[in-house]
């Protein structure tokens, strides 16, 4: 019979199992839940520990930035080395013992440091030094042994560098803060970390700088494994799980170097196995106790409960250690859950927030009334919703303090790390204000030095290194300022001795002052950049420091070469003046008004014809020597000068010489007065002007003779102009009248040759008379406003018959219709006629075009031809008198070569510009400018009878008035050949009688201007008009070219034709006159 388990035992066992089963299930569920919650908290705990490490490192870097900013703002990097070392000596006790500050120039040489042993070391080969010179940010350097003198070696350091700028705004060196790595290691280790957490600080190059706990892994100084190198890249935080440096599997969170102010990689790793070991042990024990559950159900329950309590206590201990870590940090920490419940505040938060009661568990908006609707509330919502980190500054209204906040998303809500930055903000404001004030002072100093006209140099003592110069220094020496580090470098400059040899370096003014010599207002010769030698006046002043030693030398200099030249010129002028006074028979004098004594120079005695020392020593005696007729005027000039307190006077007078002769003297005097205006003395110059006076008399006599000759010449020219033109005019008119009587070809050809000869004679005579009148300056412009287009039409019409005899065309065009110009109509017409006539002479085929164009406020008249053109080398010669192109045999059919000379002279009188453009063999274009009258109101005249003009002649009656019988008969013959009926008269009275007797109104009156008995043709036409009561068209045929004739013609609204006129021109003029109402046309 086998062994049987008693049923009671089974029941007990089953009952125990039934009773234990719920307890066991509850235990397993509790342990599983606890383990899951703990795993979730480990990741958040690692994040908070990482923030703590980053915050501590940020404070260290911010302290370094503040030190750098203070040094830069106070100008320490720009101080002489001795002053800088003195300041560093004073600052050393205020800096932590683990921190050393160094200043290096831009070559890398350390020239100032809080540890004197570091001065003189070279860091120029370090990449971080070169990177710092190129950027404004703080650069983390290479960790390793410190570079210092042998007495300062042995430490390993982590450097932070930032550049500083010189006075010119360019990088001038670096500031370095050296952190002792041993201190960093100890500092990290001493922080109260949880036993299962590992904190690691890694340099960007992968070197492990610090680790806590230190005994785990023994990895300090080694490189980060390749599998973890990715933590050095990127710019945002990350997490992962990997075997640690000691082989233990851990979960970790990290910040890459670009995401930290310290420029280092920060990592916090937690081994889940170690962190969860208490819970795992409790679970194992509970399961082992399950075997005894049947016997000791209640004991097992108690045991399980005790183990659960133990686990809870361990969890609480871990949380307490985490709280201890948070409370040990200098930052205030507060946690707000997603339902806005305040779940945690450390003591620092209590203090900063000035809380009067515990607000843990309260709603955040109720605990902090300033939170509702504020930027902080919006920021917290953003972090909760987007799970991102935010950093900003916030003004706490309750205390009026500024907080710097860093807000992180947590498992339950947000974690807020904040600290009071009110004093820091105030210090930053003061620092910025101080820096701004220093910058303004530097700007003012630079502006003053830059605006000074003298050169300024500032030299360092005792080295002689050039620290600063102003722009005037480079301008004065004529080349760029060269860098000098010692006195020996001065030899590169251009100082020279009086004999021209180079000045030794130790004889330059700064070098002499550094030796203790005095350099004040000394002259120095200098060879400028262009090789010229100049002279500087130099002042060099030493600047002493607090210890009495010379720290700086200030050198000021300016160019006195002009003053030296002026001094030499003054000496030479005095020598020249003495010689000039002697040769010009001049003398000087001074008169002491208070004593009445006059001091004369030897030349003054010579002018008055007496020996030095003989009389004329007082004012009254000088007055007695004057000519009786000049004494009162000379005294009046002197007295008026003194009475009106004038400074100078001049007077001419005669002096009676001892031998009875008379000498003319010019006197110039200058008066001096005291502060009350009372005259003290006068000084002056007397010059013998007897020869000048004699010459003036001769010149006046010569001028009067010349004026009389010019007037006689003008009268002769007027008479010659009239008398020479009269017979030529009759020849031209008779020649024109012969056309109807010469029928055969041979006779017609001879008559044509006769007309061409007459035209040539006319052109020659016009040119000669015009040049003669211009030579005696009797031509005066009579400026008026007139229609330019009408003038151009008249000229082209008058020359069209002449051009036709050569087979040429004359046309007009342009855009000057209705344009009124301001000029002398006769002179401008003469210019255009000469240009057209010249074009006809030198054009064999093609034609001449007279056109007009508008440029700005001027009208340009262009006379273009298709003639022979002008060689380029003769363009400027064509305006010379008698110069002709292509006429070596002096063919008089081409004129005398005076036409363009007359054009140039008339254009100068009128101030009208003349231009010429020509191509050889293609033709020329002459252009004349005339100003437009912008205020003129030009209207076309309307004919009095709206009838089309009848063809010329054919029953029209012409009244002819001329006192020259031959001209009168030739004119009558020609007009009768043209079909006119004529009445002839030799005077105005005879003309009125003939018209009254004829009983017929003349259609046109043609009259000579100069008639007998002092009468003229304008008056004759006026009398006929008055007699008939009609404005009969009239034209003056005259050889006069003076202003008087042009004025009378314009007054009576007549046309004018200058003799000799060719028949074709007269025919065109009469046709235009009878077919138009433009009564003021001048031809």
Average pLDDT over residues 692-704: 84
β-strands 171-180, 156-165: how paired?
A: antiparallel
Give pLDDT, residue 503. Answer: 94
Alpha carbons 992 and 981: distance in angstroms, whole number = 17
Q: What is the DSSP letter of 56?
A: H
Who has greater pLDDT, 734 or 54? Answer: 54
Q: What is the DSSP letter of 798?
A: H
Give pLDDT, residue 889. Answer: 41
Give pLDDT, residue 95. Answer: 86
For 767, the token pair is 């040119």
Average pLDDT over residues 72-90: 87
For 188, the token pair is 């990290």
Across the chain, what does the average pLDDT equal? 79
| DSSP result, 441-477 | HHHHHHHHHHH-SSEEEEEETTT--EEEE-HHHHHHH
- Report whether pLDDT(949) > 80: no
| Weakest-pLDDT range from 95-109, 450-464, 770-784 | 770-784
Percent residues over pLDDT 70 in the chain: 76
Greatest Cα pair distance, the chain, in angstroms, is 199
- Report whether pLDDT(699) > 90: no
For 748, the token pair is 């017609």
Bond from prior residue into 513 cis (ω within 30 degrees of 0): no
The model's confidence at residue 769, banded by pLDDT at 50, 70 and 90, is low
Average pLDDT over residues 159-169: 88
Give pLDDT, residue 1025. Answer: 92
- Report whether pLDDT(764) > 60: no
- Report whether pLDDT(493) > 60: yes
Q: Quick one: 729 exposed, middle or buried, by C-beta within 10 A (0-12, 13-18, 19+)?
A: buried
- Report whether pLDDT(16) > 70: no
Average pLDDT over residues 702-724: 66
| DSSP result, 866-919 | -S----GGGTTTTTSTT--SS-TT--GGG--S-HHHHHHHHHHHHT--EEEEEE
Interval 343-384: pLDDT, tens: 888 888 888 888 888 888 888 888 888 888 888 888 989 898
Most confident of 520-529, 618-627, 631-640, 832-841: 520-529
- What b/e readout covers 46-76, taking b as 16+ CB neighbours within 10 angstroms? bbbbbbbbbbbbbbbbbebeebbbebbbeeb
- Report whether pLDDT(791) > 50: yes
Q: Quick one: 19 exposed, middle or buried, by C-beta within 10 A (0-12, 13-18, 19+)?
A: middle
Domains of the chain: 332-426 (3.30.450.20), 454-559 (3.30.450.20), 583-688 (3.30.450.20), 779-931 (3.30.565.10), 957-1074 (3.40.50.2300)
Give pLDDT, residue 507. Answer: 93
Interval 383-426: pLDDT, tens: 988 888 988 888 888 888 899 999 989 888 899 999 898 988 88
Who has greater pLDDT, 1062 or 988? Answer: 988
Q: What is the DSSP letter of 1080?
A: T
Cα–Cα distances (Å) from 556 to 456, 457, 513, in that order, read 5, 7, 13
Which of 254, 251, 250, 252 is closest to 235 using CA atoms?
254
The model's confidence at residue 472, banded by pLDDT at 50, 70 and 90, is very high
Give pLDDT, residue 685. Answer: 84
Dihedral class, residue 188 (left if φ above 0, else alpha if ψ from -120 to 50, else beta): alpha
The model's confidence at residue 942, banded by pLDDT at 50, 70 and 90, is very low
Give pLDDT, residue 509. Answer: 95
Average pLDDT over residues 763-767: 57
Give pLDDT, residue 890. Answer: 41
Interval 279-334: pLDDT, tens: 667 666 666 665 565 456 545 444 544 555 565 566 556 555 555 655 556 678 99
Interval 101-123: pLDDT, tens: 999 998 999 999 998 888 889 98
Alpha carbons 239 and 1009: distance in angstroms, whole number = 121
Most confident of 74-88, 276-290, 792-806: 74-88
For 672, the token pair is 């001096």
Give pLDDT, residue 947. Answer: 35
Who has greater pLDDT, 817 or 1037? Answer: 1037
| Apex 358 CA angle, 357 and 359, nearest 5 | 105
Bond from prior residue into 737 cis (ω within 30 degrees of 0): no
On whether the CB atoms of residues 823 and 890 are closer than 8 A, the answer is no
- What b/e readout covers 445-468, taking b as 16+ CB neighbours within 10 angstroms? eeeebeeeebbbbbbbbeebbbeb
Interval 186-195: pLDDT, tens: 888 777 778 7
302 Cβ partners below 8 Å, 6+ apart?
Answer: none
Interval 573-610: pLDDT, tens: 767 766 666 666 788 888 888 887 888 887 777 777 66
- Report whether pLDDT(20) > 80: no
Give pLDDT, residue 325. Answer: 54
Give pLDDT, residue 1078. Answer: 37
For 678, the token pair is 């009372």
The model's confidence at residue 21, banded by pLDDT at 50, 70 and 90, is low
Who has greater pLDDT, 943 or 330? Answer: 330
């Amino acid at each position: 019979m086998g062994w049987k388990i008693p049923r009671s035992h089974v029941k007990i066992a089953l009952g125990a199992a039934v009773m234990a089963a719920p307890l066991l299930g509850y235990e397993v569920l509790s342990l599983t839940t606890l383990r899951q919650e703990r795993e979730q908290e480990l990741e958040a705990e690692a994040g908070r520990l990482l923030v703590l490490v980053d915050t501590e490192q940020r404070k260290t870097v911010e302290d370094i930035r503040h030190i750098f900013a203070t040094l830069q703002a106070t100008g320490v990097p720009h101080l002489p080395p001795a002053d800088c070392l003195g300041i560093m000596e004073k600052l050393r006790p205020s800096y932590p013992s683990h921190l050393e500050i160094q200043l290096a120039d831009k070559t890398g040489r350390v020239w100032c440091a809080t540890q004197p042993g570091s001065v003189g070391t070279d860091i120029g080969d370090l990449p971080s030094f070169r990177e710092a010179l190129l950027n404004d940010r703080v650069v983390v350097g290479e960790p390793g042994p410190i570079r210092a003198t042998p007495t300062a070696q042995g430490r390993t350091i982590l450097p932070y560098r930032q550049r500083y700028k010189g006075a010119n705004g360019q990088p001038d060196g670096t500031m370095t803060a050296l952190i002792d790595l041993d201190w960093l290691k100890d500092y990290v280790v001493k922080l109260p970390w949880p036993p299962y957490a590992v904190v690691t600080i890694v340099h960007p190059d992968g070197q492990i700088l610090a680790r806590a706990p230190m005994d785990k892994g023994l990895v300090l100084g080694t490189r980060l494994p390749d599998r973890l190198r990715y933590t050095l890249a990127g710019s945002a935080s990350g997490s992962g799980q990997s075997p640690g440096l000691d082989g233990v599997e851990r979960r970790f969170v990290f910040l890459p170097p670009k995401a930290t102010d310290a420029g280092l990689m920060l990592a916090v790793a937690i081994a889940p196995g170690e962190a969860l070991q208490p819970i795992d042990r409790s679970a194992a024990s509970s399961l082992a106790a399950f075997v005894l559950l049947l016997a000791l159900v209640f004991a097992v329950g108690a045991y399980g409960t005790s183990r659960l309590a133990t686990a809870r206590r361990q969890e609480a201990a871990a949380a307490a250690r985490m709280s201890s870590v948070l409370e040990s940090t200098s930052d205030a920490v507060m946690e707000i859950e997603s339902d806005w419940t305040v779940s945690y505040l450390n003591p620092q938060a209590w203090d900063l927030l000035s809380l009067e009661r515990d607000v843990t568990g309260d709603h955040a908006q109720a605990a902090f009334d300033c939170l509702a609707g504020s930027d902080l509330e919006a920021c917290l919502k953003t972090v909760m919703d987007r799970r991102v980190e935010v950093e900003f500054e916030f003004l706490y209204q309750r205390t009026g303090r500024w907080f710097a906040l860093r807000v992180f998303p947590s498992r339950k809500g947000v974690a807020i790390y904040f600290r009071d930055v009110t004093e820091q903000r105030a210090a930053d404001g003061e620092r910025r204000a101080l820096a701004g004030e220093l910058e303004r002072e530097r700007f003012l100093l630079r502006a003053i030095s830059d605006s000074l006209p003298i050169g300024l140099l500032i030299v360092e003592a005792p080295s002689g290194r050039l620290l600063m110069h102003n722009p005037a220094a480079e301008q004065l020496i004529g080349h760029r300022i060269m860098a000098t580090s010692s006195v020996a470098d001065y030899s590169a400059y251009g100082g020279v001795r009086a004999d021209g040899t180079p000045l030794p370096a130790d004889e330059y003014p700064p070098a002499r002052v550094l030796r203790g010599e005095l350099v004040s207002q000394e002259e120095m010769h200098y060879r400028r950049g262009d090789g010229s030698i100049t002279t500087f006046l130099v002042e060099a002043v030493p600047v002493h420091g607090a210890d009495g030693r010379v720290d700086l030398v200030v050198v000021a200099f300016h160019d006195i070469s002009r003053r030296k030249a002026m001094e030499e010129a003054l000496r030479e002028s005095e020598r020249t003046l003495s010689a000039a006074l002697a040769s010009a028979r001049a003398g000087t004098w001074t008169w002491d008004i208070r004593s009445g004594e006059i001091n004369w120079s030897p030349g003054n005695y010579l002018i008055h014809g007496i020996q030095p020392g003989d009389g004329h020593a007082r004012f009254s005696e000088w007055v007695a020597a004057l000519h009786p007729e000049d004494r009162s005027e000379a005294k009046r000039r002197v007295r008026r000068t003194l009475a009106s307190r004038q400074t100078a006077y001049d007077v001419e007078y005669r002096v009676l010489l001892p031998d009875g002769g008379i000498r003319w003297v010019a006197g110039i005097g200058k008066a001096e007065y005291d502060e009350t205006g009372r005259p003290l003395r006068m000084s002056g110059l007397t010059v013998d002007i007897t020869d000048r006076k004699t010459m003036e008399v001769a010149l006046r006599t010569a001028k009067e003779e010349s004026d009389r000759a010019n007037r006689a010449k003008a009268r002769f020219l007027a008479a010659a102009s009239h008398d020479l033109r009269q017979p030529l005019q009759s020849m031209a008119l008779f020649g024109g009248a012969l056309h109807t009587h010469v029928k055969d070809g041979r006779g017609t050809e001879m008559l044509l040759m006769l007309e061409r000869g007459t035209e040539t004679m006319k052109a020659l005579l016009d040119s000669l008379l015009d040049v003669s009148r211009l030579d005696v300056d009797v031509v005066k412009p009579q400026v008026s406003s007139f229609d330019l287009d009408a003038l151009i039409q008249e000229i082209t019409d008058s020359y069209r018959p002449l051009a036709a005899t050569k087979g040429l065309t004359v046309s007009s065009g342009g855009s000057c219709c209705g344009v009124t110009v301001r000029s002398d109509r006769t002179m401008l017409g003469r210019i255009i006629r000469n240009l057209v006539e010249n074009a006809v002479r030198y054009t064999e085929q093609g034609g001449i075009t007279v056109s007009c164009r508008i440029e700005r406020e001027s009208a340009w008249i262009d006379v273009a031809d298709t003639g022979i053109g002008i060689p380029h080398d003769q363009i400027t010669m064509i305006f010379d008198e008698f110069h002709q192109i292509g006429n070596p045999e002096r063919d008089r059919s081409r004129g005398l070569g005076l036409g363009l000379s007359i054009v140039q002279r008339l254009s100068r009188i009128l101030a009208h510009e003349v231009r010429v453009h020509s191509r050889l063999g293609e033709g020329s274009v002459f252009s004349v400018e005339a100003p437009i009258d912008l205020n003129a109101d030009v209207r076309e005249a309307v004919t009095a009878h709206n009838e089309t003009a009848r063809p010329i002649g054919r029953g029209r009656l012409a009244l002819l008035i001329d006192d020259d019988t031959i001209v009168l008969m030739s004119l009558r013959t020609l007009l009768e050949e043209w079909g006119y009926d004529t009445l002839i008269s030799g005077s105005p009275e005879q003309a009125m009688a003939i018209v009254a007797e004829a009983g017929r109104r003349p259609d046109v009156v043609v009259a000579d201007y100069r008639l007998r008995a002092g009468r003229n043709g304008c008056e004759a036409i006026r009398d006929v008009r008055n007699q008939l009561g009609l404005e009969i068209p009239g034209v003056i045929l005259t050889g006069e070219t003076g202003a008087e004739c042009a004025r009378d013609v314009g007054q009576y609204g007549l046309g004018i034709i200058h003799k000799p006129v060719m028949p074709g021109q007269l025919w065109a003029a009469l046709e235009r006159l009878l077919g138009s109402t433009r009564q003021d046309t001048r031809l």
